[in-house]
A and B are shown apart, each in its own frame.
Chain A
Amino acid sequence: MSLITIKGITKTYNPKKIPVHALRGIDLTIEEGEFTAIVGPSGSGKTTLLNIIGGLDRQTKGEILVDNVNISDLSDNKLIDFRKNKIGFVFQSYNLIPVFTAAENIGFIMLLQKKSKDEISKRVIELLKSVGIEEQKDKRPNQMSGGQQQRVAVARALASKPKFVLADEPTANLDSKSTSDLLDIMENLNRNEEITFVFSTHDQRVIDRAHRVVTIEDGKVISDVKIKN
């Protein structure tokens, strides 16, 4: 069943003066439970595509259906709610709240969703276990390694029980060991809990673990390879 359907997406910056075409007609379908990497060189448009899928940016033309909702039609406020409930984000620089502990960072999105305290604490413990940093729960980001912070970020992305997780170059700031550990965690979550992951990356270590690799160059999909199911 398709989770994300992208039809003829284009994105042009500054269309009236010096137009810069970041995306030039992308058609793509991502199924539920996929572990997909969107790859390409810098400036190819992969982050722009990820931002549009995540509802952080809007396309110039085309249509994007996420979980059967045309997000192009949503108002800014509805889009914020949509992001909060349907999409999990993992950023390259972790982007944790520095004044919150690991547990608070994870529980924070559930507070935005107005979940009960009991539900939040139960889910936070569950997530801390699943990303293997239970003992770090009371530590603040500056007391954790990069790898540990990115695990918290993954747990935070999953906290809202999203339909899928978008990860923008999640391993860019990690060493090999941390990258391998993080990929193990994400792959396990994908396999065991059927969580859909979509990465933008040019890290070969991530590409090697992806189940599907979509390559973009100059704003177009130039290859779409399913490596394993």
Chain B
Amino acid sequence: MILKIAWRNIWRNITRSLVVMGAIIIGIWSIIFLVGMVNGMIESYIDNAIKNEVSHIKIHHPEFIKDKESKFYISDIANVKASVDTISGVKAVSYKTITNTMISSSHAGRGISAIGVVPKDEVTVSGVSNHIIEGNYLTDTKKNQILISKRTAKKLKVKLRSKVVLTFQNLENEITMGAFRVVGLFETGNNIYDESVVFIRQKDINNLLGMNGYGHEVAILIDDLEYLDQIQKSIALQFPKLLVRNYKEVQPELALFQSQIKMVGIIYMVIFMLALIFGIINTMMMAVLERVRELGMLMSVGMNKGKVFMMIVIETLLLAIISAPVGLFLGYLSTSYFHKTGINLFFYSEEGMKQFGFDKFIYPNVPTETFWQLVVAVSLTALLGSLYPAWKAIRLRPVEAIRGSFTSEKTRIFSRITNYIQYKLFNSKS
């Protein structure tokens, strides 16, 4: 019976109910879309960072990460690679030599990191080969090839097939240099990264540094992030003298970014819920005030306070129950659509997005738990929002409410006094 009254009461003032339901629908949809966008951005950022820079796990000489000096190498790096390759769950492994260098053209020069790679291995781990915009990726056959970014090429004023000179300090601390021909230009979308690295063959760089068979870094991609810690531990056990770190340890800002963005999502959700709670209180208070006489009658004829309270609570919950699925469905539809097509954020700010390492397209992705969290959050909000109006309803005195008055004790007494005076005046005149 209470459910029946509550249900029909919702449709009593359709406009008002639709406004509240609209607020819930838009709120839920916007949170889903926001969470989807935020997740999409996190995934894009981390994915880019992993593919182009950090990979999932990296192995270094423990001292190398401090100042990247060439002398802190991993000897017999090819064997390390081969051993890691056999670990279950490892998708791809590459190794490289990394050193700071001076790159010069006939027009300009700049400091940069030179990364010596084994091209056939590197393409399995790094996504740079997918970002070649001119020319080709490095090959294993030709000597002294170099791959530079479009931005570096612009700064050095060089083009494809131009020659540049790299100057290094070898293991003997002597200056050594080599001339390299630009075979390809890349653009990863992350400007900072693009301006800080060039790629050459490991063989070439090792020859110049005098460290054949050595290397500075082993980069590993795994099949499933769920096993990241397990694989990392297994590698660390195998190479106790080497430093084995996962991508969160290599770039702590990734984890920080991830948690901060998630926190922003939660803050938005809380703000929405707060706004919604006041909207619900306002609407339900209006519904109670509009129905004072009716509530008075219900209490007069024998509906107890618990039932009156429940009636208001159920009415509010029904508003949420009707609108929440619509909001969830709209959110699911819109994020699913954009998950397929992507949202072109460069349309908004190409340079800004590149500067922060985001992809051109963001693919919103909403975890299933977000939908459940929203269901719980909206139900809780509706419940909390209904408590005050329901409490107000049961505070009504039936004797006053049946007359439609929602007055305070003082007003009631004042009205009795004026009635009494009127009566006395009327009697004395007659």
Contact = CB atoms under 8 A, between A and B. Distances in A.
Interface of A: 13-14, 18, 20, 22, 41-44, 51, 54, 56-57, 77, 80-81, 83-85, 89, 91, 93, 95, 97-100, 108-109, 111-113, 156, 160, 218
A121 B149 CA distance: 84
A112 B422 CA distance: 41
Contact of A112 (B303, B403, B417): B303
- Give 7 nearest A-B pairs by CB, closest first: A84-B302, A99-B8, A43-B419, A95-B297, A56-B399, A43-B423, A111-B1
Nearest to B423: A43
B43 interface: no
Given A91-B297, A95-B294, A100-B5, A51 B399 contact: yes
Given A93-B404, A95-B294, A41 B426 contact: yes
Contact of A99 (B9, B299, B419): B9
Among the interface residues A56, A83, A160, which one has the most CB atoms of the partner chain B within 10 A?
Answer: A56
B369 to A, nearest CB: 38
Interface of B: 1, 5, 8-9, 11-12, 293-294, 296-305, 307, 398-399, 402-404, 409, 412-413, 416-417, 419-420, 422-423, 426
A98 to B, nearest CB: 7
Contacts of B11: 99
9 contacts: A42-B422, A43-B422, A44-B423, A56-B399, A81-B302, A89-B297, A91-B297, A97-B298, A99-B9
Given A43-B416, A56-B398, A83-B302, A95 B423 contact: no
B192 to A, nearest CB: 64
Given A84-B301, A95-B296, A100 B8 contact: yes
Contacts of B298: 97
Contacts of A91: 297, 300, 402
Contacts of B399: 51, 56-57
Contacts of B423: 41-44, 218
A109 B1 CA distance: 10
B300 A20 contact: no
A141 B398 CA distance: 21
Among the interface residues B1, B300, B307, B419, which one has the most CB atoms of the partner chain A within 10 A?
Answer: B300
Contacts of A99: 5, 8-9, 11-12
B3 to A, nearest CB: 11
A85 B302 CA distance: 8
Nearest to A44: B423
Contacts of A93: 293, 403-404
Majority secondary structure of chain B interface residues (helix, strand, loop or mixed)? helix
A103 to B, nearest CB: 13
Given A42-B422, A95-B297, A18 B417 contact: yes
Contacts of B416: 13, 20, 22, 43
Nearest to A104: B4
Nearest to A41: B423
B413 A89 contact: no
Contacts of A156: 301
Contacts of A108: 1
B420 A83 contact: no
B5 A80 contact: no
A13 B8 CA distance: 38
B9 A80 contact: no
Nearest to B299: A80
A42 B425 CA distance: 13
B309 to A, nearest CB: 13
Contacts of A77: 304
Nearest to B426: A41
A20 B417 contact: yes
Nearest to A76: B305
Among the interface residues B300, B302, B402, B416, which one has the most CB atoms of the partner chain A within 10 A?
Answer: B302
A95 B399 CA distance: 13
Contacts of A160: 301-302
A70 B402 CA distance: 24
A54 B422 contact: no
Contacts of A42: 419, 422-423
Contacts of B419: 42-43
A113 B409 CA distance: 32
Contacts of B402: 56, 91, 95
Contacts of B303: 80, 112
B8 A95 contact: no
Contacts of B302: 80-81, 83-85, 109, 112-113, 160
A42 B422 CA distance: 9
Contacts of A20: 413, 416-417, 420
Nearest to B11: A99
A42 B424 CA distance: 11
A128 B149 CA distance: 89
Nearest to A113: B302
A67 B8 CA distance: 37
Contacts of B409: 14
Given A43-B419, A108-B1, 5 more contacts: A20-B420, A41-B423, A41-B426, A80-B302, A160-B302
